[in-house]
Structure 1
């Protein structure tokens, strides 16, 4: 069972769900090669103290905004795993490659998501869901 399935079965406001979500988040950030600064932006511009607390993977009730952001990242990861099922590494690299398609308009998906808005994560997920068909 993957992190998304665990979260779907759990009470998303529970401390255990927060732990699972953070574990997923930091694992995918490592695979994407994101810096701590980028990770803080993707989590909603959280402060250093909160970021370092989260790095310890506590059982914590995450704010709704953080839950939503991680949920979109899970969907993005899942779509990339499907699209690049023969080469997962290509999926991890995809987020760094320039993309001429809207909404990216020549930027990488990661650069686009680093605008810091939830809608940018949602748009990236929608784009990938559309590509997947």
Structure 2
């Protein structure tokens, strides 16, 4: 009787480099889905136009076009990094909290050393990409993901 053998070696398929946002082709491919996700996050977090613009690193008029679905650009490497950090935080919050707290959390003042009495949303807007990544890591740690 023959037994199945589990192969621990990678498949012979093409080896893909890690996903980055550096290549124009990758950014173009990822932009539409990133914008769709960001528009959903903006609604869930009840972001104002100025808040969304600051978080994405665009002007308010550009955010208005993105929100309306009329913007036809490609997100930059920095903008995709911002979207990635925010979506990661959103997902981790929804894994951590089972109710509407997941979406309210970003607006609650936090006295912890990472926030210095700012809300997570204020901290992300004030500190940009480094702050967004720190907050994502913080939420991942809270849910035991680190």
Q: Mark yes or no: TM-score above 0.5.
A: yes
- Give the distance between the partners of 1:34 and 1:12, measured in 2 at CA: 27
Task: Give 1:14 shift.
Answer: 2.3
Tell me how many residue pairs correspond in the alignment.
120
Q: 1:13 aligns with which of 21, 27, 35?
A: 27
Question: What's the C-alpha RMSD, in Å, of the aligned pairs?
Answer: 1.8
C-alpha contact 2:49 2:60 (8 A) present in aligned 1:
no
TM-aligned CA deviation for residue 129 of structure 1: 1.2
Q: Greater helix share, 1 or 2?
A: 1
List gaps (5 residues or longer) in structure 1.
1-7
| Counterpart residue number, 1:26 | 39
TM-score, normalised with respect to structure 2? 0.74
Greater relative CO, 1 or 2 (CA 8 Å, sep 6+): 1
Q: What is the correspondence of 1:67-86 to structure 2 with a 5 Å cutoff?
A: 67-84=80-97, 86=98
Larger radius of gyration: 2
Structure 2 gaps, min length 5: 1-18, 20-24
Q: Work out the CA distance in 2 between the residues paired with 1:116 and 1:55.
A: 23
What's the CA shift for 1:64? 0.6
Query: Which position in structure 2 is the counterpart of 1:113?
Result: 124
